[in-house]
């Protein structure tokens, strides 16, 4: 939080509450008890208990299918695109169904409501409308049981949803969503929501390495992977054996935003592309889209489709160590509690904790200043020679907070600079690169 800043200002209700140390400020922001309101100089604002900041995020209401599909579609619209129409959700009447869709040209969300059963709709001068997702947020949050919809055309189209009236854009401006490819393969991913939440934590934000900004689905090896160059998270596709004929595809990591609404059914669509090679033309099949089925009670044929990231994922098996000098079996919660304490004492210049493994315990230590330090003991079962290494505590926390296992095994190398492997019996695992000891 600032290269030369030692303390930051804390405010509440526009009142200055004084300055607090950076580790305390970081913890308040990380745990969402405060938010950054000014960056230069840094000021953070304390949030009141029970109150959010701004408009609440839309919540899925399973008893109202219309609100449910709108809430999911809102996560698939574009943010800040020059083509403002990509910030809208399209409503279009097709026969006895209302089609609701959204796209940012990489992600396409589509769902259908059957009219005449739970919903009635009337149209005047048009069969559809495009409405900005932000303008629908209040409707999603309302407790009104919405069953009547009226769409009116004209220079300024409107949609009446229950007691709410929202203006929008003409439907002609909305881009047509292209159909998927011809050849298709079907897969089932068990517990997909938790698995995507786990691997997404390790994906990169560095756009220059686009392959690491996505989630890699390796159906041939039966793994789902997220990596950023310093760490790797991996989970199994399912409990079944890998598919020798399986495909692989990189999907934008934003899929994690809708992960908890996915059923686990995935369809890979392949387009036949022609590439020019030395001796003429040849055809190859390349997965270009992954279609995920959505679980939206009361909606029909609800899917979200992601365009593949056009990049090659690194050979991840090469970075996973195969031989270890020692291992430490530890209770997940106990390890996590001590890491949360230790991270409060790391310094800005060296944001790492040191772990010393020996005789059935792990000693975690961190030093923020010459006068402030932390040292904690984590009990467990250790086998192997004594080992000391340093690691980013947030990497460990991201892994432990999202793993379903009550205990994990830390596998350690014989050289301090080699990677740590942390895994549970569920198949969830992480590979974390340590940092240089100081």
CB 70 within 8 A of CB 89: yes
Spatial separation of the C-alpha atoms in residues 324 and 385, rounded to whole Å: 11
The pLDDT tens digits of the residues spanning 425-438 come to: 999 999 999 998 88
Choose among 211, 197, 209, 297: nearest CA to 255: 197
Which of 130-139, 217-226, 362-371 is predicted with the least confidence, judged by mean pLDDT?
Answer: 362-371
CA 53 to chain centre: 21
When the candidates are 3.30.428.10, 3.10.150.10, 3.30.1330.60, 3.40.50.2300, the CATH number that belongs to 326-432 is: 3.10.150.10
Arithmetic mean of pLDDT over the chain: 85
The pLDDT tens digits of the residues spanning 157-169 come to: 999 998 999 999 9
Amino acid 209: pLDDT:
87
Amino acid 95: pLDDT:
92
* Cross-strand partners of 214: 252
Which of 30-34, 83-87, 201-205, 273-277 is predicted with the least confidence, judged by mean pLDDT?
Answer: 273-277
Architecture of domain 183-319: Roll (3.10)
Spatial separation of the C-alpha atoms in residues 258 and 303, rounded to whole Å: 11
Spatial separation of the C-alpha atoms in residues 198 and 287, rounded to whole Å: 24
- What CATH code would you report for 65-173? 3.10.150.10
Q: What is the DSSP string of 41-63?
A: TEEEEEPPTT--SSSPPP---TT
The pLDDT tens digits of the residues spanning 406-423 come to: 999 999 998 878 999 999
pLDDT band for position 63 (cuts 50, 70, 90): low
Strands 148-152 and 120-124, bridge-based pairing: parallel
The pLDDT tens digits of the residues spanning 296-330 come to: 988 999 999 999 998 899 999 998 988 999 999 99
Spatial separation of the C-alpha atoms in residues 83 and 74, rounded to whole Å: 16
Spatial separation of the C-alpha atoms in residues 209 and 212, rounded to whole Å: 6
Strands 42-46 and 7-12, bridge-based pairing: parallel
pLDDT mean over 32-51: 60
Largest CA distance in the chain: 78
Q: Give me the percent of the chain exceeding a pLDDT of 90.
A: 59
Q: Residue 289: exposed, middle, or buried by beta-carbon count in 10 A (0-12, 13-18, 19+)?
A: buried
The pLDDT tens digits of the residues spanning 162-188 come to: 899 999 999 999 998 888 777 678 999
* Cross-strand partners of 93: 98
CA 98 to chain centre: 29
Q: Residue 416: exposed, middle, or buried by beta-carbon count in 10 A (0-12, 13-18, 19+)?
A: middle
CB 344 within 8 A of CB 24: yes
SS3 173: helix
* End-to-end CA gap in the chain: 22
- Helix or strand holding residue 1 (H, E): none
Strands 248-252 and 214-218, bridge-based pairing: antiparallel
């Amino acid at each position: 939080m600032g290269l030369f800043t030692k303390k930051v200002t804390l405010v509440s209700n526009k009142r200055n509450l004084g300055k607090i140390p950076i580790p305390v400020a970081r913890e308040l922001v990380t745990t969402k008890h405060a938010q950054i309101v000014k960056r230069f100089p840094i000021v953070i604002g304390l949030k009141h208990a029970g109150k959010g900041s701004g408009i609440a995020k839309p919540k899925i209401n399973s008893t109202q299918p219309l609100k449910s599909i709108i809430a999911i579609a809102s996560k698939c619209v574009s943010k800040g695109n020059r083509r403002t129409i990509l910030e809208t959700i399209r409503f279009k009447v097709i026969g006895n169904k209302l089609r609701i869709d959204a796209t940012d040209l990489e992600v396409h969300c589509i769902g259908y409501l059957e009219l005449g059963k739970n919903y009635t709709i009337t149209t005047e001068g048009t069969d559809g409308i495009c409405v900005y997702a932000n303008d629908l947020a209040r409707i999603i949050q309302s407790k009104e049981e919405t069953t009547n919809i009226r769409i009116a055309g004209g220079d300024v189209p409107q949609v009446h949803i229950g007691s709410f009236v929202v203006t929008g854009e003409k439907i002609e401006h909305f881009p047509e969503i292209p159909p998927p490819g011809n050849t298709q393969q079907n897969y089932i991913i068990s517990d997909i929501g938790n698995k995507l939440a786990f691997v997404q934590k390790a994906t990169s934000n560095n756009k220059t390495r686009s392959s690491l900004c996505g989630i890699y689905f390796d159906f041939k090896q039966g793994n789902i992977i997220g990596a950023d160059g310093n760490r790797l998270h991996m989970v199994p596709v399912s409990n079944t054996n890998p598919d020798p004929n399986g495909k692989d595809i990189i999907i934008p990591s934003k899929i994690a935003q809708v992960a908890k609404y996915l059923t686990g059914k995935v369809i890979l669509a392949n387009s036949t592309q022609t590439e020019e090679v030395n001796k003429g033309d040849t055809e190859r099949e390349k997965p270009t889209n992954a279609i995920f089925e959505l679980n939206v009670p009361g909606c029909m044929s609800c899917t979200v489709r992601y365009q593949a990231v056009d990049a090659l994922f690194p050979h991840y098996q090469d970075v996973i160590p195969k031989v270890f000098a020692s291992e430490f079996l530890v209770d997940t919660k106990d390890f996590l509690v001590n890491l949360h304490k230790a991270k409060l004492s790391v310094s800005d210049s060296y944001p790492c904790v040191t772990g010393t493994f020996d005789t059935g315990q792990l000693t975690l230590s961190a030093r923020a200043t010459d006068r402030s330090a932390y040292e904690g003991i984590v009990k467990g079962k250790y086998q192997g020679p004594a080992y000391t290494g340093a690691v980013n505590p947030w990497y460990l926390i991201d892994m432990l907070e999202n793993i379903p296992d009550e205990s994990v095994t830390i596998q350690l190398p014989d050289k301090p600079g080699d990677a740590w492997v942390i895994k549970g019996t569920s198949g969830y695992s992480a590979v974390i690169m340590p940092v240089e000891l100081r």
